A = this chain, B = another copy of it.
Amino acid sequence: MQTKLSENKLEMNHAIEQAKKQREISISEFFTKNRHLLGFDSPLKAISTTVKESVDNSLDACEESNILPNIEVEIKQTTQERFQVTIEDNGPGIVKEQIPKIFGKLLYGSKFHTLMQGRGQQGIGVSASVLYGQLTTGKPAKITSKISKNKPAYYCELHFDTQKNEPEITRAEEVEWNKEHGTKIIIEMEGKYQRGKRSVSEYIKYTAVSNPHAKLTLIEPDGTTIVYPRATNHPPAKSKEIKPHPDGIELGILINMLKNTKSRTLQAFLTTDFSRIGAGTAKKICAEANINTNARPTRIAKQEADNLLQTIRKTKFVSPQTDCLSPIGEDLLKRSLKKEFDAEFFVTVTRPAAVYRGNPFIIEAGLAYGGSLNRETNAELIRFANKVPLQYQQSACSISKSVTRTKWKQYGLHQSNGNLPTGPLVIAVHMASVWVPFTSESKESIAHYPEIIKEIKLAVQECGRQLGKYVRKQGKVKDEAKKRSYLEKYVPVIGEALKEILALKDKDEKIINENLKDYLERSRKL
C-alpha cells in the first residue's frame, strides 16, 4: 500500500511538474525563434524579403491614394556581413501615432480585417524586417514620414520589445524633408547581396512587369543604378472592399458574423453582410432554415446557425462580383511577356472569377514559346500573387502543382512525370484575390485549395491547347527532316555491316544501300 501511494504521488507530480512549465508565448518570441517562417532563413533572403515587404507596402499605399509610385531602393554594405537597406517612396506618408505599431509590432495592419485585393494582407511584413535587423545588428529602424507639404516630416528610431510584441521609440524629432509626402525606412541587418535568380534585382524587374505604372530605382552596393521607368501614367483602379460571398462560408465565421453584425434582422444581415444575396434569396433561405426573417442575428442559437449554414450550402448564388479584383489583363500580360522574352509564340488567358472559402479570385496564365529560349532545360515558371512576383518555395506552390500535373505531352512537349515540361517555354501564372492563402507568413507560395488548383489548371490548359496547335505544326516539319537525316546517316553503316556478314563485293554495296533505304522508308510509313 505504501508503494502504491508513493507511486500515485509520483504520477501526480508528473502532471503538476508539467503544469509548471506551461507558459504563454508572445507572437514576437514565436517569430524570432521561427524567423524562417517570415522569410529570414538566410542572409541572402533577409535583404530580399525586406525589400519586397517595403516595396509592396509602398505600392499598396500609393494605389489606395491614387498616387503614381516613385520608389527608390538602396542597398549599402556597412561591414563584411552587414548591409543598410533603404526604401523611400512618394506615398501618402503615415501619421506619426501609427508609425510605432506599423513598424514595431507584429500582427498589426489595415488589411487583415477587410476583403480587398492588396499586396500586404497580414500585418507582419515590414515589422518582421525591423525585428530581424535588431536581432542581427542590435540597431533600431530609422523611419522618416511626411504626410503633407505644409507640415514638417517626422523622424524616429524604434526598437522592438520582443517579449511584449510592442514598439519602443528611442528617439523622435521633427525634421526637414524636401518632399511633399512620402515614407523612408532604413534598416541595418546581417545579409548577403547577390545578383541572378531570386535576387533583389530580379524581384524589382518582375515587379516592374506587373506594375507598369510604377517608377522603380535600385541602387546596388557597388553603386550600379538600375531604373525601371513608368510604362503608363495611368494608375490602376483603386481596389474595392467587398463583403464575403456565401459560397464556402464556414460555421464559425458565420457565427462570428451574426454576433458582430449591425443588422437588426436576419433578412438584413443576409442581404447586407454578404455579397450576392438578394432579398428574395434571403427570404427563401430563412424559410428553408425555418428561422423568422425578423429574428435578431445576435440571438440566433448555434443549432439555428448550423441550419442556416446547411441551407446556404444548398443554395445556388450568382458568382461573386469581380470589380473588386484587378487582374493584369490578357493584353498587358502578353505585352509584358513579349517585352521580357525573345520567343516566337505567345498566348495569355484571364479566367472568369471563381471562389474559394467565400473569397473571389481570378487566375491568369501566359505562355511564351520558342525563339531564343533554352530548348534543353525545363520550362521557366514565373508566379505572381496580387501582382507581386513570388521568388521562393516554388515547389510548395499550388501554381507549380497545377502546372506540373498538366499533361504537357498532349501539347507536344516532353515532360517527365511530375516535372515541368522540357523545352523553350516560359509559363507565367498570376492569382489576383481579396485574400491569397499563402503557405507561410513569408508569402512565397500559394496553398493547395482544390478550387484554386482547378482554376490554374484550366487557365494553363487553355493556353496549352493553343500552344499544342502551334507546336504540332512546327513539329511535323521538323520530324520529317529529322527522320530523313537518320536514314541518310545509318544506311551506309548497315550496308557496310551487311557486306561483311554476307561476304559481298564492293560493287554490290551500292545496290544493297538503295534496297535497304527503300525497305526502311516503306516500313516507316506503315
Let me know if A112 and B23 touch, CB within 8 A: yes
A29 at the interface (CB under 8 A from B): yes
Could you tell me the distance between the alpha carbons of A322 and B112 in the complex, rounded to whole angstroms?
A: 44
User: Which residues of chain B have C-beta atoms less than 8 A from A321's C-beta?
Assistant: none
For A296-329 the 0/1 string (1 means CB < 8 A from B) is 0000001001100000000000000000000000
Let me know if B18 and A92 touch, CB within 8 A: yes
Binds B, one of A382-390, A457-465, A496-504: A496-504
Q: Given A34-B437, A252-B32, A498-B498, does the pair A19, B448 have CB atoms closer than 8 Å?
A: no
Q: How far is the CB of A390 from chain B (nearest CB, A)?
A: 13
A108 at the interface (CB under 8 A from B): yes
A114 at the interface (CB under 8 A from B): yes
Q: Which of A98, A105, A114 has its CB near the most chain B CB atoms (within 10 A)?
A: A98
Let me know if A18 and B251 touch, CB within 8 A: no
A416 at the interface (CB under 8 A from B): yes
* Copies, count: 2
User: Which residues of chain B have C-beta atoms less than 8 A from A142's C-beta?
Assistant: none
Q: How far is the CB of A166 from chain B (nearest CB, A)?
A: 11
Which 3 pairs of residues, A with B, have the shortest CB-CB distance? A135-B252, A396-B396, A21-B110
Can you report 29 residue pairs joining A to B where beta carbons are below 8 Å apart? A4-B149, A11-B180, A11-B181, A12-B147, A12-B148, A18-B110, A23-B109, A23-B112, A24-B105, A24-B108, A26-B107, A30-B107, A33-B435, A37-B441, A41-B437, A42-B448, A135-B250, A135-B252, A137-B251, A138-B306, A396-B445, A416-B416, A418-B419, A419-B419, A439-B440, A501-B515, A501-B516, A501-B519, A502-B512
Q: Which residues of A contact B (CB under 8 A)?
A: 4, 8, 11-12, 14-16, 18-19, 21-27, 29-30, 32-34, 36-37, 41-42, 61, 64-65, 92-95, 97-98, 101-102, 105, 107-114, 122-123, 134-138, 147-151, 162-163, 180-181, 250-253, 255-256, 302, 305-306, 378, 393, 395-396, 400, 416-419, 435, 437-441, 445, 447-450, 497-498, 500-502, 512, 515-516, 519
